[in-house]
Structure 1
Amino acid sequence: MRIETALAAVAVFSLGLSSADAETPFKLGTFERNGRTFPGLVLEDRWVVDIAAANARLQKQHPSWKALAIPAGMKELIERYDGGLRERLHAIANEPGAATPRVDTYEVKALRVRPPVPDPETMVNAAVNYVEHGAEVAGGTQAPTPSPTMAPSVPGLWERPANDIRWTPYLFLKARSALIGAGEAIRIPPGRDKIDWECELAVIVGRRASRVSVGQAREHIFGYTLEDDVSDRGGRGDARHGSDWLVGKSHDTFAPVGPFIVPKEFVPDPQALAIRFALSGKVMQDSSTARMTHTVDELLQYASNILTLRPGDVISTGSPAGVGFTRNPPVFMKPGDVAACTIERIGTLTNPVAAGP
């Protein structure tokens, strides 16, 4: 039994619950109600427990409990998760009747769902990180592979054994101003008609990470969510300096993230999750995170060699095959469409598509 699971079991035993209940899964999100924004605990993808209100009520019912102040925002909750909040949240999730309407529990549909981390300091995205996506982008059936004679490592960035001939990971930054939550509209900018989808597993960083090893990477992960890496395939109008990642990736509303975060204890293997994208009900992407070229741990390690990652930062791990611009004829999102990204164990991120600005 992992340490965090054992501690959670101790917490729920204090409520008189069975050990099996200690594994009741929950998700975390940020919500708005009557002008107040708060972190909530999500049960069954339907019920949202106001963590601060539930904690205050339970502390009165259990005077022997350690007094804990609940953070007002998700980043601080992530920072303090391993300092007692994990056990308290497990206890709240396992309280009898938690998934029922009461004074501190609401239905999701009664709340505004915000991005789970509304204010990440850094949003990092991986490019061409699935085998088949590499093939479709290259215009063939097989992804291009590097020559075995190329340099086996990039000192200070990507060190690997000589028999590992994968490309070095390719990461780029996405503007935080592009961030929106589930249910918010992806807006097609005026004059831009080649707007594409990329359904991706996103990592939420849990601890400060600078030059961590691959073996240490999982310790720095808090949990997982979904991102639609919306992309403008229309280019910049000239070939100067090649592609333009700012134009391609960072228009306003081009980073839907959410709806919730699944803490890592509920995702035993992030490299074995089914991933699917549907556009207005038609399945466009259908793959598995097992098809990633570089794992979530490798991507975090590589990113941490370039910049310091902090709690709440987002690392989106790349798109599988099935994007729109490689189809014949190409397919792009248009006003009136509905974009739905689904990942096993994580949930579904749904956003309508509307005309900009």
Structure 2
Amino acid sequence: MHLATLRTNAGNRAVAVIENQYVDLQAADPTLANDMAGLLAELPQNLKKIEDAAERASAAGEFVTGELLAPITRPGKVICIGLNYRDHAVESNAPIPDEPICFSKFSSSVIGPEETIELPAACKTVDYEAELVVVIGRGGRNISREDAFAHVAGYTVGNDVSARDWQIGRPGGQWLLGKTPDTFAPIGPYVVTADKIENPSDLAISLRLNGETMQDSSTKELIFGVDEIIAHISQLFSLEPGDIIFTGTPPGVGMARKPPVFLKDGDVTEVEIEGLGVLKNSVKQL
């Protein structure tokens, strides 16, 4: 099932996406949550209920219109994993990590499809990174690897935009500052529920910059799978419904190219992941 957040005249609504049309799920069934985090917390136990509500409204032609936003507009946590593709570690001349390399972005960096990535004047070398994003449904702490997928509501497409001059060009390496400027975490267009993705470690992933393919790989190259990541990080802090995890990027990033390729005013990025859709964003220099 495809779920999204839509800005409507009645406010932001959690919707089901059916043949490119939108069903307001709470309007279809008042017992359902009207926000995405609340809806995700009801998965997977209420998935059939949500599907039935969407099908009834669709059959009756009860669709709504509005602006498609990031599926989770303000996640409680935006967790990111670095150097998690074998082929990307090779291109970065970095050793294969023994455990997940973790950092974070602020929720204020999240934007949705068709929104604009804004390049701050203070950032001179801004890169793109296509990423599979895990969306947490059921919360928990000290989650076992065997139980990890029971905590996944679904998946979406992400772009871990990165200011390399801040991330690695500043004293000590300022990963947080390089990763979390406003608009540097596009996600969307939808959350595809976990039942529709048979194996998140077997999906084609690519990024196009102005129509040219820059990254083209598969999540088969992930060093640490979704279950390993969840088990690792939940040893230290609780995961909550609506938290998102960027799982790393494949090779082809601009920093590793010769000559390097960095984002500039007027660029358009398109991240595509098999079964999850295309996330498209334009770029503007501030």
Matches of 1:239 and 1:333, distance apart in 2: 19
4+ long deviations beyond 4 Å: 236-239
Give 1:86's aligned residue. 47
Larger Rg: 1
Give 1:43's aligned residue. 18
Following superposition of structure 1 onto structure 2, how do residues 68-107 of structure 1 map, counting pairs within 5 Å? Answer: 69-83=31-45, 85-95=46-56, 98=58, 102=61, 104-106=62-64
Give 1:149's aligned residue. none
Following superposition of structure 1 onto structure 2, how do residues 193-232 of structure 1 map, counting pairs within 5 Å? Answer: 193-232=124-163
Q: Matched residue of 2:281: which SS?
A: strand
Asked if structure 2 preserves the Cα contact closer than 8 Å seen for 1:277 and 1:286, the reply is yes
Deviation at 1:193, TM superposition (A): 2.4
CA RMSD of aligned residues (A): 1.9
- Is structure 2 residue 208 aligned with structure 1 residue 278? yes
Give 1:120's aligned residue. 75
Deviation at 1:79, TM superposition (A): 1.3
Q: Matched residue of 1:39: which SS?
A: strand
- Structure 2, gaps ≥5 residues long: none
Asked if structure 1 preserves the Cα contact closer than 8 Å seen for 2:167 and 2:179, the reply is no
The Cα offsets for residues 266-303 of structure 1, whole Å up to 9 and x where unpaired, read as 00111110001001111000000010000011011111
Give the count of matched residue pairs.
286
Matches of 1:351 and 1:300, distance apart in 2: 28
- Structure 1, gaps ≥5 residues long: 1-25, 56-67, 146-165
Deviation at 1:227, TM superposition (A): 1.1
Asked if structure 1 preserves the Cα contact closer than 8 Å seen for 2:167 and 2:176, the reply is no
Matches of 1:305 and 1:352, distance apart in 2: 37
- Is structure 2 residue 118 aligned with structure 1 residue 187? yes
Deviation at 1:113, TM superposition (A): 1.2
Give 1:34's aligned residue. 9
- Is structure 2 residue 109 aligned with structure 1 residue 178? yes
Deviation at 1:98, TM superposition (A): 2.3
Shift in alpha-carbon separation, 1:50–1:35, aligned structure 2, 3 A? closer
Give 1:313's aligned residue. 243
Matches of 2:32 and 2:283, distance apart in 1: 36
Shift in alpha-carbon separation, 1:134–1:263, aligned structure 2, 3 A? same
- Is structure 2 residue 27 aligned with structure 1 residue 53? yes
Match of 2:185 among 237, 243, 255: 255
Deviation at 1:82, TM superposition (A): 4.0
Deviation at 1:207, TM superposition (A): 1.0
Shift in alpha-carbon separation, 1:268–1:236, aligned structure 2, 3 A? closer
The TM-score, its normalising length taken from structure 1, stands at: 0.76
Shift in alpha-carbon separation, 1:339–1:35, aligned structure 2, 3 A? farther
Matches of 1:283 and 1:237, distance apart in 2: 25
Matches of 1:134 and 1:292, distance apart in 2: 10
Q: Matched residue of 1:98: which SS?
A: helix
Structure having the higher strand fraction is 2
Q: Matched residue of 2:3: which SS?
A: strand
Q: Matched residue of 1:72: which SS?
A: coil
Matches of 1:41 and 1:118, distance apart in 2: 16
The TM-score, its normalising length taken from structure 2, stands at: 0.94
Identity percentage of aligned residues: 36
Shift in alpha-carbon separation, 1:294–1:82, aligned structure 2, 3 A? closer
**Matched AA of 1:80:** E
Q: Which has the higher contact order (CA 8 A, sep 6+)?
A: 2
